[in-house]
Structure 1
Amino acid sequence: MLIFWSIAALLVVVTLTVLLLPLISTRRRSAAPDANAAALAVYRDQKRALDAELADGVISAEEHEAAVAELSRRLGEEVDAPGERAPPASPRKRTWFFAVALLVLIPSAAFILYALLGKPEAITSPGGERGAHDVSDQQILAMVDSLAQRLKTRPDDADGWVLLARSYQALGRYTEAADAYSRAEALVPDNTTLLADYADALAMAQGRKLSGKPAELAARALTIDPNHKKALALAGTAALEANDLGGAIGYYRRLLAQLPEGSDDAKQITAIIAKVESAKSGGKGLPPSAPAPERAPPPALASPGSNAAITGRVEISAALAPKVAVTDTVFILARAVEGSRMPLAILRIPAKELPKDFQLDDNMGMASGAKLSATPTVIVEARISKSGNAMPQAGDLSGRSGPVKPGASGVKVTIDQVVP
């Protein structure tokens, strides 16, 4: 709103300047010479000429006297009597009158016309912005569906299947995401990150259960890369589901060794290990409150380091914290400051992990050709969804950072707003 009124005021000032500056600064034309003064000046010149001729003996005293009398008579006829001619209006006074009138009328007319013909409520109403975003979000869905249609004619496009799978996963369409990962995995069979993401999506499609094929996929990823972070997290959670406490502890310890000391993820894994070790030493099975599959570290942990990755922390404001349920879903994403609203990278975590350190990079993209690393400046957004829907809905909680460049670290996002 402040930007709008500032621009409007600037336009009014420019308009007034264009109109008033020539009016005020134009050199005032000189008033017409006074007729009486002119007649007197002529009389004096002619009188001096007659005096000179008399002195030189050109004319006689009688001729001089007669000529002077004639000049005096003509002067009496040309000079008006006092009060006969009204003084002309001052040009300067008229100029300032018009200047003041324009100064008052133009801003008043602009304000009245905007109030009558414009839409003032759009300045302060968040609905206008939300409506624009809703259209863009529908466009995002259309782009994802368009990608799916394109892959029907190009089934050998492995990168396209990966993008489609990540897009479905970000939208919470896990069954479709698992199908797309399956198509990509058939084309690229030994990609550890792809296998781990496939296992994650399939587990979500199975009601957050890793038993069966998701556990097999995680184990297969670890045969290729024994230190793959996401695969270790998934394998540890699968072991917990199977009540294999010793195996779970082994996987989580291997994962902990790779996490930055003191990070949120390291603290979370340490707490899980302590809980599982306590259950094992007591000779008991897995307690009911043991970690569920969604407690595994997010995909960002599995992404290799990148100079274009954005890292930071998402927190919830104290005022909105009571509104957050442990079953809520958090979406952390990066969008370009200008241009398309298609997320350049997106991360999905359970709300119970807040506050959360995050990393966003090109491996989390949703669209071919739209890369985080190739975007000059982005904004990091975080949104808590009650429904788990990736599209913003009324009642969701949100927050955003200021503009940052790819590769930025220490980015702080505070969730402190309610989506109207």
Structure 2
Amino acid sequence: MTIALMVVLALAAVVWMTRPLWRAHLSNAGARQSYNVAAYRQRVADIDADLALNTLEDEAAQQLREEAAARLLSDTTTVDAASSDAESVQPRAWILALVLVTFVAGVAGVGYFRSDSRQISGWIDLARKDPEAANGLVVSSMLQRLENRLKSEPDDAEGWAMLGRSYFTLGRHAEAAQAYAKANALTAGSPDPDWLASEGEARAFQQQGDMSGAPAALFAAALKVDPGYPKALWYAGLAAAHAEQYGAALDAWLKLRDQDLPDDFRQILEQRLPELAKLAARELPQRTAQAAPGGTSLHLSVDIDPALNAPTDGSATLLLFVRRPQGGPPLAAVRQPFTGPIEVVLDDSNAMIQGNNLSSADQWQVVARVTRGGGVQAQSGDLEGHLALSRDDAATPQRVLIDQRVP
């Protein structure tokens, strides 16, 4: 379908380009003959006008008419000869047109088969039949181009890092490690923590999850460059835990816990921290969130009555939200795995609806709920605590005690 369309477009282009060749002998001859006839008629009219004004004798007028007619005949013969000449030239014009057709089609074909057009057309056809296979071909083609470019530009550190990411995404971990190693070697004077951690990650996968040796050393090197780099902290914690250095693992993950993390990742981290603290024979410290600058904030300490025997292994969810005393949608809310007492700072950044935040009210009702269901509505067996606050209370930390079981 694509090739047929190209042929049609090429022919249309050639027809338009050669239009003067096949129209010239018709248009030029016809136009010249029409002009000669009009000139003859104008000449005869001028002779008759002179004769009527007595500026010309009858005999002279007749002679002039005969000369005009002879000139018209002569011009007509010339036009016919020109038409005949054009007809004789016509085969040569069509030969030229044929050459143009061949040339244009050849250029279009070479351009099509040597450029990306043919390849892209193939991808489109394959995508209709097998989208996953087509995506694989696109990725492979892009990877091949990047590999070829790095052969001619081997000092491109960014290019090697990009190649490493591509290899890792494709599961080619050994090649990913090599590509990142080249990127890190080129930037040894100003190391990039992401590239160091990514090389360590690729080598750990290459070693079937074994993080000893080179992977652990690379994570440590990344943390020397940036002590708070999240990927390096995560993998450094894993490496330390695998080496049964649970205290070092806990330290790394506590630093990670204090950062702004995606909810899903934070849930995984919060679930694993209690177990890691037990292995390290240490008490898990409470996490303190930082208040956002400006607006109203509430400093809350969430505690629970030991008599309720609440699970603290992260299997239950803590829902903490603030609403107006009369009810309505929450003004602020947080959700996280419950691992025991915690300190939280709620502010306008925790609003669920823009403009409906803590600063929009002067009195609040705080609800802390531990639930296994995780839903917004309280369920039988959930553990809850309530606290009424006013704006004057926002200046000092407040304790919310979970001391009830929902019937």
For the aligned pair, the TM-score class normalised by the smaller chain equals: 0.3 to 0.5
Specify which structure has the higher proportion of helix: 2
Q: Structure 2 length as normaliser, TM-score?
A: 0.36
Q: Structure 1 length as normaliser, TM-score?
A: 0.35
Higher relative CO (Cα under 8 Å, sequence separation at least 6) belongs to 1
